[in-house]
Amino acid sequence: MAYGRPESLLGIHLNMADLLAEGTTPTTIEEKNFVAKRDFILDWETGYNHEQETRPQTLGVAMADSPVGAAAWILEKLGKWADLPMTGVGDPDIWSKFSEEELLTNIVLYVAPSSVVTATWMYHGKGLEGSGKFPAGTKIQVPTGFAAFRDPVFVPPPRSFAEKTFNIVHWTEKSSGGHFAAWEQPELLLADLRAFIAKVSG
């Protein structure tokens, strides 16, 4: 929306900033270290993206046919992407943050209506459109707020790197909460959103 209809917005608030302009180049040591770390992690952690981008139906139908398979797919992502402590044997302690009821409810919302099939289509669309990055030279002028949660896979960039694409007017570093910030730390995210709205609408 900020790219295609900027005149319609007072601002945008993000807690992920991996959608940058094509060819965004790191210039500081901090930015270069971030890009190296990001690229290393994404090389290991984005096989799901390639599968969903290229063969979404194969994966979707398999998961719709197997509640256990869907649960495994979803729980693995929660285990790797949430901000979780580790158990004594080095596994993510998923039970420290999520209850069994919460996890089962989330899984059933995908399995019961077979939405696990269509949930993968956005990745296929992204691949077809080439919309994983903004065109080179893009500068989003809409005032942007960013809540930098501790996403262990989609690591938040340094503010200076995000500013190469976005007009950052509000930036906060969060001490807890990972990829699923709205689920993991809803009060922290809500407070940050309210602070940003007050800033851009005041």
Tell me whether residue 92 is in a domain. Answer: yes
Which of the listed residues 84, 101, 129 is the one where a domain comes to its end? 129
Please say if the pLDDT value at position 166 is more than 90.
Answer: yes
Tell me whether residue 102 is in a domain. Answer: yes
Query: Do both 138 and 120 map to the same domain?
Result: no
Name the strands in the sheet holding 140-148, side by side, starting at the edge strand that comes first in the sequence: 12-14, 140-148, 166-173
- Listed in sequence order, the residues at least 6 apart from 103 whose beta carbon sits closer than 8 Å to its beta carbon are 75, 78, 94
pLDDT tens-place string over residues 96-154: 999 999 999 999 999 999 899 899 899 999 999 988 899 999 999 999 999 999 999 99
Residue 155 gets which letter from DSSP?
P
Looking at the 3D structure of the chain, how many domains does it have? 2
Domain that holds residue 87: 55-129
On average, the pLDDT of the chain sits at: 94
Query: pTM of the entire structure?
Result: 0.89
Please say if the pLDDT value at position 202 is more than 90.
Answer: no
Query: Do both 139 and 154 map to the same domain?
Result: yes
Tell me whether residue 36 is in a domain. Answer: no
Please say if the pLDDT value at position 70 is more than 80.
Answer: yes
- Listed in sequence order, the residues at least 6 apart from 162 whose beta carbon sits closer than 8 Å to its beta carbon are 17, 20, 146, 168, 171
Both structure tokens of 74: 């979803």
